[in-house]
């Protein structure tokens, strides 16, 4: 079927906001020249999984607004917690000062790791957490007398953010290529994408086969490698690449054997997205440093954190100030963001959300079965509250085409290349799950016709 008309069908109010936005805002990750032909939604309100634009049209946020919206938009418990926090304390710097929300959040996150990761260092977004983790790792090796240990290893297809340090451990050319000269590149090892399974192999066998590349690299270079950086279980921006938890067990063992840190980037997969609060829990091993962001504050406010092992933290304790981790962001540990995160943790615990998600996931998976069976659909996959499938022979511009078709079905979708995925908010009623599946199916039917 041909794509809907190129010109976006804005209502009057929405059109005026869109025009003003295009005149004044430089939008992220966007070829601005494609607008306004490529629709831009000007959103006025949001509630639960729904976004409503300035003309009252609604859209189901099937990708949780870049994977941050964990419980649904404007969850009342988080809204109330923020109101209460605003009555007490807005913001203070976190050097020399502290406050209850950051203390409580740090304690609770540590408890969730079984106290394996005992200290929390805060940043503002995912990329800043990655910068913190890679600096901490290299600096910790310096404290141990290993000055040259400052190389990093990442997986093929990895994405860890777009500041220069984070780009160094990101293996997606589109994001990195223009800045190649500015970036200190990591060693990239082949990943354990379970789609690579040969006949007779399962995902675990792929993991065991593929980890040999990492083993060989570490055998050769571990003396100069500070850390291996991974997105546990699912490499998101690389195209929802799923892999077996066995890979992480092997990473842990190799890092221990070769005295290398393991940094787990749970920015996208943490906070229950893969079914357990931390994706690493499914592998039964903990990293040295673990990064969280996105859903941590329920998508309300920018917040990230690096959880570290106490042994690593203690390396920075010294009479000499220069041995401290002298890294700071103005909004480190912002009380409002931490209070939002505490409210999210409360909802997850009190409402047993992760247990309920298993039923939600089963329902959505079964409702999406017709898509999984389509002759052009490959590798339909689901883990926790992530669904993805690849389209064979997708034409150039497939992603934008799906985006456009989806809007006509009240749906916000943004495929990565030829991979369509869903990362919806968790708190979905059965009727919402069925409506989501129905709209996704309708979009796919039109796109693949």
Ligand X SMILES: Cc1ncc(COP(=O)(O)O)c(C=O)c1O
| Secondary structure of residue 327 in the 3-state scheme | coil
From first CA to last CA, the distance across the chain in angstroms is: 5
Q: Which of 127, 227, 341, 420 binds ligand X (CB under 6 A)?
A: 127
Residues 218-257 contacting ligand X, CB under 6 A? 231, 236-237
Q: Is 425 in the site for ligand X (CB under 6 A)?
A: no
Asked whether 348 and 354 are in contact (CB, 8 A), the reply is yes
Which C-beta is closer to ligand X: that of 160 or that of 339? 160
Which C-beta is closer to ligand X: that of 237 or that of 312? 237
Residues 140-179 contacting ligand X, CB under 6 A? 159-161
Give the whole-angstrom CA distance, residue 424 versus residue 433.
10
Asked whether 281 and 113 are in contact (CB, 8 A), the reply is no
Question: In the complex, which residue's CB is closest to ligand X?
Answer: 126
# of chain residues touching ligand X (CB under 6 A)? 14
Q: Is 424 in the site for ligand X (CB under 6 A)?
A: no
Q: Is 293 in the site for ligand X (CB under 6 A)?
A: yes
Asked whether 156 and 187 are in contact (CB, 8 A), the reply is no
Q: How far is the CB of 355 from ligand X (least distance, A)?
A: 25
- DSSP code at position 73: B
Give the whole-angstrom CA distance, residue 79 versus residue 244.
37
Q: How far is the CB of 293 from ligand X (least distance, A)?
A: 5
Q: Is 307 in the site for ligand X (CB under 6 A)?
A: no
Contacts of 19 by beta carbon, 8 Å cutoff, 6+ apart: 36
Buried/exposed code over 358-369 (b: 16+ C-beta within 10 A; e: otherwise): eebbeebbebbe
Specify the DSSP element, H or E, that contains 339. Answer: helix 335-350
Residue 423, Cα to own-chain centre: how many angstroms? 10
Q: Of the listed pieces 98-106, 125-133, 409-417, 429-437, which binds ligand X according to CB under 6 A?
A: 125-133
Q: Which of 81, 112, 192, 267 binds ligand X (CB under 6 A)?
A: 267
By rule CB under 6 A, what string of x and - marks binding of each residue 359-398 to ligand X?
----------------------------------------
- DSSP code at position 166: H
Alpha carbon separation from 174 to 21, 78, 193, 362 (Å, rounded):
25, 36, 20, 35
Q: How far is the CB of 56 from ligand X (least distance, A)?
A: 30
**Residues paired with residue 307 on neighbouring β-strands, in sequence order:** 120, 290
**Residues paired with residue 306 on neighbouring β-strands, in sequence order:** 121, 291
Q: How far is the CB of 395 from ligand X (least distance, A)?
A: 26
Q: Of the listed pieces 122-130, 193-201, 331-339, 368-376, which binds ligand X according to CB under 6 A?
A: 122-130
Q: Of the listed pieces 10-18, 123-131, 274-282, 314-322, which binds ligand X according to CB under 6 A?
A: 123-131
Q: How far is the CB of 265 from ligand X (least distance, A)?
A: 5
The closest alpha carbon to 132, from 104, 166, 171, 108, belongs to: 166
Q: Which of 72, 126, 239, 384 binds ligand X (CB under 6 A)?
A: 126
Q: How far is the CB of 168 from ligand X (least distance, A)?
A: 13
Q: Is the peptide bond before 422 cis (omega within 30 degrees of 0)?
A: no
Which C-beta is closer to ligand X: that of 155 or that of 437? 155
Q: Which of 125, 244, 246, 390 binds ligand X (CB under 6 A)?
A: 125
Q: Is 446 in the site for ligand X (CB under 6 A)?
A: no
Q: Is 61 in the site for ligand X (CB under 6 A)?
A: no
Asked whether 176 and 170 are in contact (CB, 8 A), the reply is yes
Residues 189-208 contacting ligand X, CB under 6 A? none
Interaction site with ligand X (CB under 6 A): 125-127, 130, 159-161, 231, 236-237, 265, 267-268, 293
């Amino acid at each position: 079927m041909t794509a809907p008309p190129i010109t976006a069908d804005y209502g009057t109010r929405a059109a005026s906001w869109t025009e003003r936005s295009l005149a004044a805002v430089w939008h992220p990750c966007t070829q601005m020249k494609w607008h306004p032909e490529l629709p831009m939604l000007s959103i006025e309100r949001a509630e639960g999984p729904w976004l409503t634009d300035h003309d009252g049209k609604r859209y189901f946020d099937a990708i949780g607004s870049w994977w941050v919206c964990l419980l649904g938009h404007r969850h009342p418990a988080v809204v109330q917690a923020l109101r209460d926090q605003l009555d007490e304390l807005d913001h203070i710097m976190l050097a020399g000062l502290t406050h209850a929300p950051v203390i409580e959040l740090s304690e609770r996150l540590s408890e969730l790791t079984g106290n394996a990761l005992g200290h929390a260092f805060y940043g503002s977004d995912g990329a800043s957490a990655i910068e913190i983790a890679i600096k901490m790792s290299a600096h910790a090796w310096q404290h141990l007398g290993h000055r040259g240990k400052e190389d990093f290893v990442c997986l093929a297809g990895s994405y860890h953010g777009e500041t220069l340090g984070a780009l160094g451990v990101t293996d997606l050319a589109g994001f990195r290529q223009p800045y190649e000269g500015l970036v200190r590149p990591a060693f990239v090892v082949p990943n354990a994408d379970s789609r690579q399974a040969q006949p007779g192999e399962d995902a675990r066998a792929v993991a065991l086969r593929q980890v040999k590349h990492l083993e060989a690299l570490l055998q050769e270079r571990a003396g100069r490698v500070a850390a291996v950086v991974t997105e546990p279980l699912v490499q998101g921006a690389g195209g929802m690449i799923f892999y077996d938890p066995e890979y992480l067990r092997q990473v842990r063992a190799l890092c221990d054997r070769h005295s290398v840190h393991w940094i787990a980037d749970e920015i996208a997969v943490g906070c229950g997205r893969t079914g357990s609060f931390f994706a690493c829990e499914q592998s039964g091993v903990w990293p040295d440093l673990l990064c969280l962001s996105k859903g941590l504050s329920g998508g309300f406010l920018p917040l990230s954190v690096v959880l570290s092992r106490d042994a690593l933290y203690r390396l920075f304790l010294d009479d000499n100030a220069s041995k401290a981790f002298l890294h700071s962001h103005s909004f480190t540990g912002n009380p409002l963001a931490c209070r939002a995160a505490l409210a999210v943790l409360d909802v997850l615990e009190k409402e047993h959300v992760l247990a309920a998600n298993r039923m939600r996931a089963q329902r959505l998976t079964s409702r999406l079965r017709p898509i999984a069976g389509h002759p052009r659909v490959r590798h339909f996959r689901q883990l926790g509250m992530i669904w993805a499938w690849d389209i064979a022979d997708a034409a150039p511009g497939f992603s934008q085409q799906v985006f456009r078709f989806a809007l006509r079905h009240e749906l916000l979708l943004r495929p990565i290349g030829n991979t369509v995925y869903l990362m919806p908010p968790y708190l979905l009623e059965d009727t919402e799950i069925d409506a989501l599946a129905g709209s996704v199916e309708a979009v796919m039917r039109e796109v693949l016709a």
